[in-house]
Amino acid sequence: RFFGKIYSCINNKTKETYACKIEKPDIETPQLNNEYKILNLLKNYPFFPKCYKFCSSPHGHILILDHLGANLGVIMSKLPNKRFSMKSTLMIMTQCLERLKEIHEKGIIHRDMKPENLVIGYKGKEKNIYLIDFGLSKYTLGEKKNLLLAPIKKEKIVIGTVRYISLNTHLGNEQCKKDDLESLAYIMVYFIKGELPWQNIKAKSRKEKYSKIYLMKKKLCRMN
C-alpha cells in the first residue's frame, strides 16, 4: 500500500501528461526510492510504467511516471454484474502471467499483487494490462530466495494486501515467486465471482480476522 498522494501533472513544454507520486519525508516505511530502482530494472519492458524522475527534498520524495488508465478493480465495479466474464478473465490472466514471468526473470518479487495494481494502458493502449506499484517489491537476483520456493525466513511484518496475500505470507514467511502466483489465483477468483469468500468477514480484532482469512484460504486450497 502506498502511503502518499498521486497526481496527474503536465509537462509545460511537451504538454504530455504524467503521474506524480509524492511521499512525505517523515514516512515510517518509504517506498518511492525502492520503486524507482525496481522500475529502472524494467525500463526495457513495455508493460510497466516508465519512470522519468525521482528526487528528494525536505518537503518529500517525488517520482514521475507514465500516466496510465484505470485499475481493474475500478473497471470491474462499473460492469453490470460487478464481475468479469470467464473469457475476459482468462485474457487478463494471460497478460498478468506474462508480467509476472518478466519480473521474475529479472529477479523481482512484486509482493503486493491485487486488482488495484493492474491497470489498462492510456490513449490507444487500453487492451494492454500494466503491472504497477513496486514500492513493496524486492530484488533478489543472484540470491537463493530467487528460486520458485524460497527458504523459510520470517519477515518482521506481513507484507502485502491481506485479501490477496498467500498462505506463506500469512505465516510471516519471506515471499518468493510462488507467492505472487498464488495472489494472482485469488485475483482470478475475485474477477470471476465478483467477490472472495473472506470479504467482509467479522472478527473482534485484526489478529482474529487475519486468522479466519488464513483458514478460509487454506480450506479453499485443499479443495482445489
Catalytic position from the list 112, 133, 179, 180: 112
What nine digits make up the cell of 13?
513544454
Q: How wide is the angle at C-alpha 155 spanned by C-alphas 154 and 157, nearest 5°?
A: 135
Instruction: Give catalytic status of residue 112 as yes or no.
Output: yes
* Owner of C-alpha cell 517520482: 63
Dihedral angle, C-alpha 189, 207, 181, 28, nearest 10 °:
120
Sheet architecture: strand order including 5-10: 5-10, 17-23, 60-66, 51-57
The DSSP result for 116-144, as a single string, is GGEEE-SSS-TTSEEE---TT-EE-TTSG
Residues with catalytic annotation? Answer: 112
